Amino acid sequence: MKLNLKKYIFTFILLYTLVPINAQVIGIRDTILMGSKFKITLVDNDSISVEKNINKAIDEMIRIEKLISDWIPTSQVSLVNQNAGIKPIKVDQEVFELTERAIYFSEITKGAFDISFAAMDKIWKFDGSMDTMPSKADIEKAIKNIGYQNIILDKSNSTIFLKKPGMKIGFGSTGKGYAAQKARECLTHFGIKAGIIDASGDMTTWGTQPNGKAWKIGITNPFQRYKMADVLGMKNAAVTTSGDYEKFILIDGIRYSHIINPKTGMPSTGLTGVTVIGPNAELCNGFSTSIMVLGKEKGLELINQQKEYAALLITDHGRIIKSKNYRKIKKNLLK
């Protein structure tokens, strides 16, 4: 859902608490960024400092949003989309590298992950306005504009060119994880030794609680909301969840996920949720989205090849499946 940025971008303080513990405070603030709910939790020396540093984190994520949000007409990604089939567009190095990493996911998933899926943005709507299935013809027409092979990168000139008119790219799959990661880097640069950036389920943590204990993160079980699928102890690590149980549409009693298979133009099936754990929120997000599209067998095959990342899968029938290195990586979250 794309929220009105002018209305929400500066609606920062929805929740703000200060809890004195061991001569430190924990500051918590909710905000809306990238059309989603974000929560920033910081451990700092006093209330004034924690407020200023939360502002720094939000400013950094707004900066990223202005670069990559495809619904902001002046963003670099929007300019790339507006010039599809016309000319290459010069972009900042971080936008170029973000695109490079997205194409890497396309290559290792053989197109199950593809940022050019944004060409489907007018076919499926998850804002409550859609009550009928899109036509087969509309889906097939949009699919013709999907294909990471047609995203042309020129590293020497730092340009991105979409070969086919009508193509679009979008970072809904990795953008929030990237924003969370960059906010963490920003805050550690300013000396903040502990906190959590929760970008609507894409979370990165560092340091510990003021009492020295690790942060505790629960993984929701959509089939048993009163019981967690797992509880993670985390210090310097990331966790992201992709799923169809919070953002979906119902048509004729059938639930359709907001995660679209770029090859078919249809919502992903077979898995209700995928949680990925590892060192980097952006990459965790890329893997969780990819696994949702790939399904159980191919998704496990992908994540089992990763040395630093692991996954917990919840099938449509409520079965919980963990990748082979899940326990090992879970222990690494405490380092």
pTM over 0.95: no
Give 233-270 pLDDT, tens digit per residue. 999 999 999 987 666 677 777 777 788 888 988 888 88
Mean pLDDT computed over every residue of the chain: 89
What pLDDT is stored for residue 129 in this prediction? 72
Give the domain CATH number at 229. Answer: 3.10.520.10
Amino acid at 275: T
Asked whether residue 240 is domain-assigned, the answer is yes
Counting the structural domains of the chain, the total is 3
- 126 shares a domain with 184: no
What pLDDT is stored for residue 251 in this prediction? 75
Asked whether residue 137 carries a pLDDT value surpassing 50, the answer given is yes
What are the structure tokens assigned to 101, written together?
């990493």
Q: Region 167-176: what's the mean pLDDT?
A: 93
Give 269-301 pLDDT, tens digit per residue. 889 999 999 999 999 999 999 999 999 999 999
- 192 shares a domain with 130: no
Kindly indicate the confidence band of residue 6, based on its pLDDT and cuts at 50, 70 and 90: very low
Domain extent for 264: 214-335
CB neighbour list of residue 330: distance below 8 Å, 6 or more residues apart:
232, 277, 310
Q: Which helix (H) or strand (E) holds 29?
A: strand 24-33
Kindly indicate the confidence band of residue 314, based on its pLDDT and cuts at 50, 70 and 90: very high
Q: Where are the alpha helices (DSSP H) in 109-267?
A: 136-143, 175-189
- 177 shares a domain with 42: yes
Give the domain CATH number at 106. Answer: 1.10.3980.10
Q: Among 152, 185, 208, which residue terminates a domain? A: 208
- β-partners of residue 202 are 199, 240
- 12 shares a domain with 131: no
- 183 shares a domain with 244: no
- 237 shares a domain with 319: yes
Rounded CA-CA distance 209/151 in Å is: 43
Q: Which helix (H) or strand (E) holds 218?
A: strand 215-219
Rounded CA-CA distance 181/134 in Å is: 36
Which of the two residues, 145 and 122, has the higher pLDDT score? 145
Q: Among 181, 208, 235, which residue terminates a domain? A: 208
Asked whether residue 192 carries a pLDDT value surpassing 50, the answer given is yes
- 192 shares a domain with 54: yes
DSSP 256: E
- 307 shares a domain with 224: yes
- 195 shares a domain with 52: yes
Q: Which helix (H) or strand (E) holds 89?
A: strand 89-90
Asked whether residue 272 is domain-assigned, the answer is yes
What pLDDT is stored for residue 128 in this prediction? 65
Asked whether residue 55 is domain-assigned, the answer is yes
Asked whether residue 168 is domain-assigned, the answer is no
- φ/ψ of 129, rounded to 5, equals -95, -10
What pLDDT is stored for residue 201 in this prediction? 87
Kindly indicate the confidence band of residue 23, based on its pLDDT and cuts at 50, 70 and 90: low
- 178 shares a domain with 57: yes
What pLDDT is stored for residue 16 in this prediction? 34
Give 197-220 pLDDT, tens digit per residue. 999 989 999 999 999 999 999 999
What pLDDT is stored for residue 95 in this prediction? 98
